[in-house]
Structure 1
Amino acid sequence: MGDIKELFLFSYNELKKVKTITTVAMFVALSIILGAFTVPIGNFLKIGFSSLTTVGIGYLFGPIVGSIFGAITDIAKYMIKPTGPFFPGFTFNAIIAGLIYGSLLYKKPVSIKRILIAEILVSYICNIMLGTLWLNILYGKAFLAILPMRAVKNIILIPINSFMAFAILKFMEQHNLRKNFD
């Protein structure tokens, strides 16, 4: 229990550093740029890689900063390029994703197992279950009608996202980028 409390406390203390704030701002900009390259596949599916920025922020600064980053990024992306109506459920998903990545990756060695677990949790909780629920609420589409295609897409993307996250985090680890923020 103490480890979790310490993890959140360390992450909270990251917010007091100017380097953290400026790095998060750059990652928000990077996420917006990557979001511009999102490919829509029908009305209820899209493929993009801006979530890699959330992985990086979670790794560097932990769950508190990751959650705040998720919320800011989601709102900023909507303000710059709205795709449909604003819905706070998707902002909640971004917060949860930042929390998951930060909790599993912060102050821990990079491992494919840890990244895979994080990707599976984010895919299942945020994308498959909650994302489908939000679409159901927003558009009135039957939850079970859109669930299978969203589940298949996310299952296919888990190894792809995991590999990309592993490559990026391994690079960050090998170049001691996290130590620049201690």
Structure 2
Amino acid sequence: MSKFSTRMIVTLSVLVALQVVLTRFCSFNAWNVRIGLGFTALVIAAIFYGPVAAAIVGGLGDFIGSIAFPTGSYFPGFTLTQVLMGLVFGFALYRKYYNAPLFSFGSTQNQTEGTTLTGNTMTQIIRIVIAVLINQCIFSLLLNTLWISVLYGSSFTGLLSTRALQAAVTAPIQIIIISVLQGILKRADIRSLLAV
């Protein structure tokens, strides 16, 4: 992401609004568990604009959603978590990076975008899996559980078991949705429609 154009600011604003709507109105919420589709706005920002844009969408989406549609008191730790998740998705999924080899073992060859489950496609799947596991295991499970325990004075280890179930359910769903979404957003007609 080199600079913020007017079109990019408008697109990111729409993605922030999308994250607010999907997180606040299209997700299952209990007091310490949330399963929803709010992450898709971060993923779209990450694919098209990179880590900084995805972090901005995550941070602003959480802040605006917490202020406009509160489900409890605002806590900045959750906003920090969304920013970090956006950064991880950005580094893993940004279109500038997703054709680069994740690890290099000897010689590397340039591959075209139409490969099967080898080369580029396998690298992209590995990137998606790693990003989702980092976000679910470190940020959602550990960091958000810490924030909940601080906010409500609950036992960290007691909360961990119920939130571990959330991470186990959410991770495979996110991997599938991101894989499909990335395939759709790589199409030239979609990119030209969105002018990215």
Q: Is 2:185 aligned against 1:175?
A: no
Q: Is 2:84 aligned against 1:75?
A: no
Aligned mates of 1:27, 1:127 — CA distance in 2? 21
Name the stretch that deviates more: 149-158 or 126-135.
Answer: 149-158
Partner of 1:47: 35
Give the counterpart of 1:141 among 124, 129, 154: 154
Equivalenced residue count is: 168
Q: Where do 5+ consecutive residues of structure 1 fail to align?
A: 1-10
TM-score (norm 1): 0.87
Q: Deviations over 1:84-119 (max 9, x none)?
A: 110000000011001000011111246222111111
Give the counterpart of 2:171 among 158, 162, 176: 158
Aligned mates of 1:130, 1:159 — CA distance in 2? 20
Q: Is 2:132 aligned against 1:119?
A: yes
Partner of 1:4: none
Measured on the aligned residues, the alpha-carbon RMSD in Å equals 1.5
- After TM superposition, give the deviation of residue 177 of structure 1 in Å: 4.1
Give the counterpart of 1:96 among 84, 88, 99: 84
Name whichever structure is richer in helix by fraction. 1
Partner of 1:38: 27
Cα–Cα, structure 1 residues 176 and 99, in superposed 2: closer, same or farther, change >3 Å? farther
Q: Where do 5+ consecutive residues of structure 2 fail to align?
A: 100-120
Aligned mates of 2:146, 2:191 — CA distance in 1? 36
Question: Identity over the aligned pairs, expressed in percent?
Answer: 29
- After TM superposition, give the deviation of residue 28 of structure 1 in Å: 1.2
Aligned mates of 1:90, 1:71 — CA distance in 2? 9
TM-score (norm 2): 0.81
* Structure of higher CA gyration radius: 2
